Amino acid sequence: MFAEEDLTRDAFLGGRVQAWQPRHGYRAATDPVFLAAACDARPGQSVLELGCGAGVAGLCLAARVPGLRILGVERQAAYADLARRNGVDVVEADLTDLPDDLRRQSFDHVIANPPYYRAGHGTAADDPGREAALREDTPLDRWIAVAGRRLAPKGWLTMIQMTERLPDTLSALSGGFGSVTVLPLMPRQGRPAGRILLKARKAGRGPFTLLAPLCLHDGARHDRDGDSHGEIARAILRDGMPVVWGTPPKTRSI
């Protein structure tokens, strides 16, 4: 477990969410916030997060949508303990070896921020917790297969992933998902999208939809200190506005 002096208390959604995180290791930034904003859950529904870490995505989702039943799965004991301290209901388990009682449950939504890098690719992180969060041990197609088994009929999977892993993701979804919609997250105008948000419906029959990118920052380059997020990105990250899977409306706060 993390020692008290190795933790920080961090704010998300403009301070609406407070979460303990390790000072060193995997630290949630904007990706879990975007993931939570992309989930179209409604009050009274159930949500399972695979690989929840310290629980930031679930906390942000709960802050926006009241009355959800949210359960996290996390295999790293220290992070599972931290998520519980943050107020998240967590099962400590490997997603490929879930306990029997969880395998008997189904959920309206599954959300996930799987490791971005394939095994053996890139430079390994010094911290084992960060390494486990960023580089896959369990292949991406297993994450998606587990999500499909835990979803109720016509349930929704929502993910955030690196753009370069989109072909792998779409290939894995082809076995049991449809109605796939992809929203690229572009850091600045004219830059390639580094991340994608994706939602897919179990046994969905709708067409594949590729939306226009959401530009995260104003300006062509970073040329000043402070917050340079664009209006929509700022509303999501600061005010708790949901991701709109279509034409963005005027911004609004929760």
Q: Which CATH number is 21's domain given?
A: 3.40.50.150
In a domain, 178, yes or no: yes
Domain of residue 118: give its range: 4-239
**Residue 226: predicted pLDDT:** 54
The torsion angles phi and psi of 209, rounded to 5 degrees, stand at: -130, 125
Q: Nearest Cα to 140, choosing from 105, 96, 176?
A: 96
**Residue 246: predicted pLDDT:** 76
In a domain, 62, yes or no: yes
**pLDDT per position as a tens digit, 116-131:** 866 655 555 454 544 4
Question: Could you tell me what percent of the chain has a pLDDT over 70?
Answer: 85
CA distance 37 to 83: 19
Q: What is the mean pLDDT of the chain?
A: 90
In a domain, 244, yes or no: no
**Residue 126: predicted pLDDT:** 53
In a domain, 183, yes or no: yes
For residue 164, give the DSSP letter: G
**pLDDT per position as a tens digit, 146-174:** 999 999 999 999 999 999 999 999 999 99
**pLDDT per position as a tens digit, 95-114:** 999 999 999 999 999 999 99
**Residue 124: predicted pLDDT:** 53
**78-102 mean pLDDT:** 97
Number of domains within the chain = 1
Question: Residue 136 corresponds to which tokens in the numbers above?
Answer: 């896959």
Strands 107-112, 151-162: parallel, antiparallel or unpaired by DSSP? parallel
Q: Can you say whether the dihedral through the CA atoms of 71, 58, 68, 198 is positive or negative?
A: negative
**Residue 131: predicted pLDDT:** 44
Q: Can you say whether the dihedral through the CA atoms of 16, 17, 23, 25 is positive or negative?
A: negative
**Residue 218: predicted pLDDT:** 86
**Residue 249: predicted pLDDT:** 43
**pLDDT per position as a tens digit, 175-189:** 899 999 999 999 999
**Residue 116: predicted pLDDT:** 84
**Residue 128: predicted pLDDT:** 53
- Say if residue 7's pLDDT is above 90: yes
pTM of the model: 0.88
**Cβ atoms of residues 8 and 18 within 8 Å:** no
In a domain, 70, yes or no: yes
In a domain, 198, yes or no: yes
* Residues in the chain, total: 254
In a domain, 246, yes or no: no
